[in-house]
Structure 1
Amino acid sequence: MSESRFARTPEPPYYAVIFSSQRTEGDQGYGAMADHMVALASEQPGFLGVESARDASGFGITVSYWDSLEAIAHWKAHAHHQQAQSLGKSAWYEHFETRISKVERAYGSDLKA
């Protein structure tokens, strides 16, 4: 697995927004909007990184990392993000869950090194 798929986060504490979703059939502009949202989020103050995966059935999990609850709130309220949220509810998702947690400990290893 490519290391670039892993978010490079600082030493904890920081916050994770865990977005689990089941997609509807067809793209309907979803891919382009998802790419745009990642690019836009990466420009926001407090953004630390993102990791995302989706399986063949359309179930996916995206985890974005932030330095504060305030940064998360600002991102949630961003006008373009609100537009994407609205489209998600009306066209792209059958079901979704959002969870916010504080990361207090993190560790890993590059086993190929």
Structure 2
Amino acid sequence: MSDVNSRISSIIGDNDVVLFMKGTPLFPQCGFSSRAVAILDHCGVSYESVDVLQDMEIRQGIKAFSDWPTIPQLYVKGEFVGGSDIMMEMFEAGELQQMLDEQQVAKAES
């Protein structure tokens, strides 16, 4: 396993919910990342974010790691969920909140 893959695996393994995104939750750098942050914030869960613009190895590596060509990418309990479109579809159908509840993901601190 390459160094970048082991770094990605470690990040995903150490956190219940990880969002690989462009920018940060406070300052997203694209509309898709902004939408993904808004969805997670609305769900009220605690999550780790990784700004792929700060690390080109991660930016390219995460695409190969998940076999998914776009960013943002959401992982819950080590499983790849999808990008912002899939997150939005799942959120609107109530499936994302249900999955987060079933996985007993920690709630965000108020």
TM-score of the two chains, using structure 1 as the length reference: 0.28
Structure whose residues are more often strand by fraction: 1
Structure whose residues are more often helix by fraction: 2
TM-score of the two chains, using structure 2 as the length reference: 0.29
Larger Rg: 1
Q: Which has the higher contact order (CA 8 A, sep 6+)?
A: 1
